[in-house]
Amino acid sequence: MCAWLTFQNDKRVYSSIPVDLSEHGAQFSTEKGVGEGETVQVNMQLDSTMVECVGNVMWALSPSEGFHKFEVSFVNLPPEQRDNIKNFVARQGKGETVREAI
């Protein structure tokens, strides 16, 4: 599972591994600093399914070892995309939240 993130006013693409993924949002970690309330374009590869959505940064922590950790809440996620995430999480953790080490 991998995600590619694009931030407001920065068209570079940053890769990250989603942590605590759910149909509502996920945590990410990148070398780019981000602030609460910013909008993020999220593209995630979940097995053979690509999920593309927009998220709002709910909180962000100061950098640790050069990486900024933050949580994104998915906005206006279409039902099909929401189901893709729910099904992926169910397959990975038998209904539990997916956690991966960064």
Indicate the range of 5-14, 28-37, 85-94 predicted with least confidence: 85-94
Q: What is the rounded average pLDDT for all residues in the chain? A: 87
Global model pTM greater than 0.85: no
Task: Work out the end-to-end distance of the chain between its first and last CA atoms, rounded to an integer number of angstroms.
Answer: 12
Q: Provide the pLDDT for residue 44.
A: 94
Task: Please give the CATH number for the structural domain made up of 2-93.
Answer: 2.40.10.220
Indicate the range of 42-46, 60-64, 90-94 predicted with least confidence: 90-94
